A and B are shown apart, each in its own frame.
Chain A
Amino acid sequence: MSTITGRARPLILALCLALSAPAAHASDNRAEVLGTWYRMILELVRHTPTQTPPVASRAFAYTALIAYEATASGSDRLQTLSGQVTALPPAPPREDGASYDEDVILNAALGLAVEVYFANTGPTGQRAKAALAKQLGALTAEGVDPDTLARSEAYGVALAEAIIAASQSDGGAVIENMGFPMTYTLGGEAQDWVPTNLIQLQQAPLLPDWGKNRPLTLPDGEACPLPPPPAYSEDPASPFYKEAMEVYEVSKSLTPEQRAIARFWSDDPMLSPTPPGHWVAIIFQIAERDQMPIEEQVNALVRLGMAVSDGFIVNWRDKYKYDLLRPITYIRRVIDPKWEPLLNTPPFPEYPSGHSTQSGAAAQVLTAALGEPFPFTDRTHEADGLLPRDFPDFWAAANEAGISRLYGGIHFRAAIEQGLSQGACVGDFVNALQTWK
């Protein structure tokens, strides 16, 4: 029993195809169930106002855990993560000798996960969820005898309910005021974060306590610490000034390629599936291209979900520990009062870069799970008019996601580089988990 490696992947893929467990259905619809629910999830993340990147990362993590455990509970190849992941309950036992339908179990579990983690979506999301539940319910029930159907649905629901119940105490279950505190005290020192836009809600920063949430895979809340950012200074000879000048000068001479990169990884909440969703979308594009078996899909999804979610927790911890101002504040104060970055500056402190941490975490776990090199084409934003981008491996994508924040004028270089390193550190904890039997 070992984690899957890149070199082992072709062999494992062949084994998966050859040894897929028989289902009650004539055909295994789990890949369709998984992919269709996740297509819905990516839309709901985009269209539910509380789903800012940290909140979305949590939803992706728990939804993936539910999909993984539902699949693992009927798999000869996957083992439960209960006992390895903090507070994750064991899957309910199945009745000896009773028949279960794996399609139905996965659909029931995911349906409940979507219902709970996106309970607060708007009327269109509610209508869409109901329509999809009906559609996939009909698909998975077809040809399944009533007893098996009822037993399988109940099992999927029970499995999901247990994980959902465990998630309620992690600190991230309740989001008020779209994540912006009603009152907040700014630091007041020159280096401290201050609001960067004219939106009233965002005069306080997003989710200042998110770093206190309970991680899934890290030993404690102190894991993966970072050194402080360069000391604040307005001296042109200082490292801090030089970092700011780099952002400023790059912004003044952006190439079309740099501009495209900044836009591609912008991943704005409510206008995209957010940075965590971007990586989820990448997995599904690869899964479709490679006809990835269901076990391999849920393995990749759960590793990605937990890595990104834990990445946001430690990243947010350090954002509020260092409380650093954004480039737009410093550059307008010290270098050019009329400077405008390409991207909208997110409403929270600068160091480290959230996208960099979570992309580093994603690259670290996907490289371990799927291998290196691993060329892929990322078409996540095609519907938004952004051209696909090709990458030789996951770290190339993560590095590009990181530097995109400098091109966009919203991060200094240290936040990017340290963020990527922090992500790799988080990813290593996830990589230590055992998923394959």
Chain B
Amino acid sequence: MRAALLLTLIASPALAQDPAIASFTEETAPAGFTHSFTGEWEFMVGGGTAVFDCNGDTRPDIFAAGGTAPAALFVNNSAPAGPLAFTRHTAGLEETSVSGAYPLDIDGDGTLDLALLRVGPDRLMRGLGNCRFEDASAQWGFDGLDLWSTAFAATWERGATLPTLAIGTYIDRTQEAFPWGNCTPNHLYRPNAQGTGYDAPLPLEPGFCALSILFTDWDRQGTPDLRVSNDREYYKGGQEQLWHVEPGQPPRLFTEAEGWQRLRIWGMGIAQEDLNFDGFPEFFLTSMADNKLQTLAEIPAEGAPLPRYRDIALKSGVTAHRPYTGGDLRPSTAWHAQFGDVNNDGLSDLYVVKGNVWAMPDFAEDDPNNLLLGRADGTFLESGDTAGVASMAQGRGGALVDLNADGLLDMIAINRNEPSQLWRNTGGNTATGLGNWIALDLAMPGPNRNAIGAWIELRRPDGKIMQREVQVGGGHVGGILVPHHFGLGPATEADIRILWPDGTAGDWQTIAANGTWRLEPGKDPVPLPAN
């Protein structure tokens, strides 16, 4: 009796209960999105995009890192539910050597700022409104250092008036012949005692060439820790890392005695989502030929879980280890990853941006991006080809975000040395179309205006509660800060509750589907117009 092992090219076969396919139309050129992340060795990684509203019109604008080319800001002129339309805008952000960026409101003035990561000194750019920015690094006491920055995350530590910033760095670029084993430290920037700016950066040593970092309250204990995904290509003695970052305390690594398990991958991106509705997030970690989907190994009845994870990528059908279309059968290279519900069926989907590092012959050159649709049984269906987003370009950064206020997540891919791309989600390819949706704009008084660190709870029709943490960080050198989108399936309303960053729980509130709502502590939801 001999059992055959079938190695299929498709992540998972089509099943009767397969989700609706969202259809995408590429609108890169007509939308005026002309951009490329360019460069050679020092820009083989990077290429992040930051998506946020920089002019208060509620339409997300796109900032894209340019590498050797100037970074660019594209202001969104798309009409609601209409074709995508952008205008390149001179914003004071046209720096070269930018690897990526993340939006956040650093000074709590209600206007989003931008952390620019660079191959060279990083910059904190203060938003002035109307999509104009100025370099506030010196004013905020921010020493951007002269390193190769490749990862970013932010959190508001308890009682702080400024966010704590974590910046991940890559290789000591002066080491030309023997760069291996020369990872530079990551750094933690904490507010000074007066809360007026930042103390000197605190090295997070050892650094193992981070390509994604993320503050996450993974154990739901109320204080986020710092997850770091590292590129094993360059470290020696390294591994993935998890730092305790407790207010007033120096950061310290989780140890094996605390349950941390050694994992060594070509870590390139982190995406977080509670996929199984147990209240604890799963983590998708991008790598080369071997992407991971981690779920907690054990959740105790009481107390905090240990940071021990099981890899469920294989059984979930999200290994995304080789191209699923196009005929190039060599292993894949994955970078940015993000969860989002592109078909609004109430189940999170997974967008993975792919692309060869740089003419690596053992890895696919024609490496299509993935759009993996979540199924109710926890597995995923590859839809990149049928959805029309199977780009073979050399992808790096990306985003899933509703760009035209129609409740459908659109898609951005930042490509290296090739044109970046933009797709509009045009709905389902079935008679019934896609599901309903809501978008939630969290707002708080005080310095943490966007409620970073809050948890959004959404009660599903089956009674299970989906929980999502409000974060700045992760992905591959870029992130979005826009109203939080949820698909609802056929439901016409949603029960929502917010667990605010200070630990207080809001009331359960029922809000109508297919709109964007502002949620503030102690207030009723307010619908926002779609401009």
Contacts and interface: CB of A to CB of B under 8 A. Distances in A.
Contacts of B358: 122-123
A91 to B, nearest CB: 29
B181 interface: yes
User: What 8 pairs between A and B have smallest CB-CB spacing?
Assistant: A385-B237, A123-B358, A384-B237, A200-B319, A188-B2, A131-B177, A131-B176, A200-B321
B431 interface: no
A383 B314 contact: no
A200 B290 contact: yes
Interface string A111-134: 000000001101110011001100
Contact of A120 (B176, B181, B361): B361
Contacts of A271: 232, 264
A203 B7 contact: yes
A16 to B, nearest CB: 29
Residue of B6, B41, B178 contacting most chain A CB atoms (<10 Å):
B178
Interface of B: 1-7, 40-41, 44, 171, 176-181, 232-234, 236-237, 264, 288-290, 311, 313-315, 319, 321-322, 329-331, 357-363
Nearest to A119: B361
A177 B176 contact: no
Contact of B321 (A40, A50, A131, A201): A201
9 contacts: A120-B361, A124-B180, A131-B176, A177-B331, A182-B329, A201-B322, A201-B331, A203-B7, A383-B236
A122 B7 contact: no
Contact of A124 (B1, B4, B41, B331): B41
A287 interface: no
B233 A384 contact: no
B177 A186 contact: no
Interface in A258-292: 270-271
A135 interface: yes
A128 B176 contact: yes
A17 interface: no
Interface string A21-49: 00000000000000000011001001111
A189 B1 CA distance: 7
Given A43-B178, A198-B313, A384-B237, A203 B5 contact: yes
B362 A123 contact: no
A253 interface: no
Contact of A40 (B40, B177, B181, B290): B177
A204 B4 contact: no
B10 to A, nearest CB: 12
Contacts, number: 111
Interface in A272-316: none
A18 interface: no
A124 B179 contact: yes
B44 A123 contact: yes
A433 interface: no
A232 to B, nearest CB: 15
A47 B180 contact: yes
Residue of B40, B232, B313, B362 contacting most chain A CB atoms (<10 Å):
B362
B205 to A, nearest CB: 13
A122 B233 contact: yes
A383 B237 contact: yes
Given A132-B177, A186-B4, 6 more contacts: A48-B362, A49-B363, A120-B362, A122-B360, A123-B44, A123-B359
Interface string A198-235: 11110110000000000000000000000000000000
Contacts of A385: 236-237
Contacts of A195: 5
B2 A135 contact: no
A185 B4 contact: yes
A183 interface: yes
Contact of B177 (A135, A175, A199): A135
A15 interface: no
Contact of A200 (B40, B44, B171, B314): B314
A187 interface: yes
A128 B44 CA distance: 15
Contacts of B44: 123-124
A185 B7 contact: no
A198 B311 contact: yes
Contacts of B314: 198-200
Contacts of B234: 124
B161 to A, nearest CB: 39
Contact of B357 (A122, A132, A184): A122
B331 to A, nearest CB: 6
Contacts of B171: 124
B4 to A, nearest CB: 5
B41 A127 contact: yes
